[in-house]
Structure 1
């Protein structure tokens, strides 16, 4: 059967839009790497090769070529040896080290943004290392702040047939605020219809709990907990995008990219405005904190100066109001100075004018001024 065209828009503006970053996460053994290979081959067949990042430092073999590979930067085994760590600790430390240079990685991705439609990011198999660590949060936030981003959470469908396992997988979704796609993989082994029913129908999930979850003492604590959590998160599940795919056969690729396009629209409509609002709020708080700090600093400097003046009235901190008592200061304000100037002008006008004829002749050494003074000998 011929494969269908991807859902990405083919309009004239599609070439100018930003690429969509797809973060592929999931439990170990859910088929993330195989799905990455299928997505890569599918996009290549449509002449839309993606830009691929591999963030799993412990993977021994990748069935696709990555543009940026964490293994080229960090040696996972050497990290374990130097820091005396186990496998999980080595993966987390390697990811932490790689995160310190992730601004450069993001720069490479942004340079290729106009040339690609999709950026695929493969994550470590131990999901908690990426979803519950600081480095995973930093990488996710850095990517989401630059480009439209969605999270594709891959679930092993046959293993999720248990209601408790299903709920454990669903709880991970509640953590992220990014647009989300629930990808039920391996539908060639077992269809995912039961999971869709559980997500949309609370009573169907309760019935599955009652059927499979009773022990010899009746309803178990886990069943009661799962039922309560499902009831609380029912509205959350109803808004999820869920698709079924097969990484082996390629089934469901069209539905997957349909969901990716919906995530892109949701990102532009909801996530990015909220991100810009949070950035503006953060900048306002920073400015307010800066102003408060300056005000406190100026107040502290005023208190220190006053204390210094009290301790040493004649020191360098003494104010100019303790001035020389022998100096006559006229007016402390501009208005007083103007008034004094006006009074001085009035006094000058009151003095009678005297002509040259009224003055007595000047004499120098007993001689009149018009008589030449003798030259020095």
Structure 2
């Protein structure tokens, strides 16, 4: 094996983890997820120094200062218009386009020094992120480089019914199973409704069954059956009650975050290091194979150099089709043509040039 081939196949040593920790915030529409992110950004800001990333391309504005905003890059309405998509399809496609460049976001996060937490605010349509390819790409990219925690925001006011509560827990368990990352259940809006009953239902299987016995419909029977199966999944989940409006419970939340960071380092880091090593080895093997084909090809044949190109200095990529520069607030819905205005000096100069041309034509 040549020296060039060895350079492709030798795996790189695992780098030391950046002190930055990532919090991926998920939640049903109306659960108070964005308000929760706003309070996270405000709570002990000088101490925690959060770095905030907004991944919701459809929101008109966010109530927090986003360091990276998908809306500065992806024109959501233009994506819907060009592909003939509905709202959810537009969000999925926008996330897909953004995920192709998410390696750049990771590189930016790796260079941060003063920030302690990176908070990722996801779209309100939770299934758009959790069950899409782009959501998996973004989650794995973050987890491969930083201690990453999934924060599931749950509306405690809407969960007083045992059946609604069980629906939320089923969703939480499905996300836990799919992401396989440290998990925190945040019971939001405790300024309106106490969360003690929900904590008891999570920790005490019998307490939940006593509550559900009072309901005799078919859905209650289904919830009872599901609880028998899922109890082993969610009884050990980290849970805390918070109020995104008043800030109550956020100290407890950050205590749980520290626990999940240690949990990541002890239990999850090895698995994600393995995933990263496998991907690097796969890329190296592909590069070696491409190099072998290049050597075996006769002169004069067209050679594909894409495996050896790490960046492009110019040109337009597929994912750049609907990109726009940060701060571009022009409305894509406007159909009026823009009229170019000329100054008086420009008009006089143009009139003079027209006069000269006419004079030359008459003398010929």
User: Taking structure 1 as the reference length, what is the TM-score of the superposition?
Assistant: 0.67
Which residue matches 1:209?
212
- 3-state SS, counterpart of residue 190 of structure 2: coil
- Following superposition, the deviation at residue 200 of structure 1 comes to 1.2
- 3-state SS, counterpart of residue 233 of structure 1: helix
Distance 1:203 1:93 in 2: 44
In the TM superposition, 1:270-309 aligns within 5 A as 270-279=267-276
- Following superposition, the deviation at residue 169 of structure 1 comes to 1.4
> 1:43–1:50: 8 Å Cα contact kept in structure 2?
no
Which residue matches 1:104?
104
- Following superposition, the deviation at residue 92 of structure 1 comes to 1.0
- Following superposition, the deviation at residue 17 of structure 1 comes to 6.2
Which residue matches 1:80?
80
Distance 1:94 1:285 in 2: 28
Question: Higher Cα Rg: structure 1 or 2?
Answer: 1
> 2:41–2:64: 8 Å Cα contact kept in structure 1?
yes
Which residue matches 2:19?
18
Distance 1:109 1:236 in 2: 32
- Following superposition, the deviation at residue 279 of structure 1 comes to 4.8
- Following superposition, the deviation at residue 286 of structure 1 comes to 9.2
Q: Find the partner of 1:238 among 235, 238, 244.
A: 235
- Following superposition, the deviation at residue 43 of structure 1 comes to 3.0
Distance 1:116 1:290 in 2: 36
Which residue matches 2:119?
120
Distance 1:62 1:117 in 2: 21
- Following superposition, the deviation at residue 207 of structure 1 comes to 1.8
Distance 1:79 1:191 in 2: 42
Distance 1:104 1:269 in 2: 27
Write out the 4+ residue segments of structure 1 that deviate beyond 3 Å after TM superposition.
Answer: 277-291
> 1:57–1:71: 8 Å Cα contact kept in structure 2?
yes
- Following superposition, the deviation at residue 223 of structure 1 comes to 2.2
Which residue matches 2:260?
263
- Following superposition, the deviation at residue 79 of structure 1 comes to 1.1
Q: Specify whether residues 207 and 71 from structure 1 end up closer, same or farther in structure 2 by C-alpha distance, changes over 3 A only.
A: same
Distance 1:187 1:105 in 2: 34
- Following superposition, the deviation at residue 228 of structure 1 comes to 2.0
Q: Does 1:33 align with 2:34?
A: yes
- Following superposition, the deviation at residue 235 of structure 1 comes to 2.1
> 1:51–1:67: 8 Å Cα contact kept in structure 2?
yes
Q: Does 1:130 align with 2:133?
A: no
Which residue matches 2:307?
none
Q: Specify whether residues 60 and 234 from structure 1 end up closer, same or farther in structure 2 by C-alpha distance, changes over 3 A only.
A: same
Which residue matches 2:44?
43
> 1:183–1:243: 8 Å Cα contact kept in structure 2?
yes
Distance 1:122 1:115 in 2: 20
User: Taking structure 2 as the reference length, what is the TM-score of the superposition?
Assistant: 0.70
> 2:144–2:276: 8 Å Cα contact kept in structure 1?
no
272-281 or 199-208, which moves further after superposition?
A: 272-281
Which residue matches 2:189?
186
Distance 1:286 1:103 in 2: 15
In the TM superposition, 1:293-372 aligns within 5 A as none
Give CA deviations for 1:108-136 in whole Å, capped at 9, x if unaligned: 11111x22111111000000001111111
> 2:50–2:117: 8 Å Cα contact kept in structure 1?
yes
Distance 2:66 2:283 in 1: 39
Distance 1:259 1:272 in 2: 18
Q: Specify whether residues 68 and 209 from structure 1 end up closer, same or farther in structure 2 by C-alpha distance, changes over 3 A only.
A: same
Q: Does 1:154 align with 2:157?
A: no
- Following superposition, the deviation at residue 227 of structure 1 comes to 1.5
**Cα RMSD between the aligned structures?**
2.4
Q: Does 1:228 align with 2:229?
A: no
> 2:18–2:146: 8 Å Cα contact kept in structure 1?
no
Give CA deviations for 1:178-210 in whole Å, capped at 9, x if unaligned: 000000000000011111111111121112222
Q: Does 1:95 align with 2:95?
A: yes
Which residue matches 2:313?
none
- 3-state SS, counterpart of residue 56 of structure 2: coil
> 2:49–2:114: 8 Å Cα contact kept in structure 1?
no
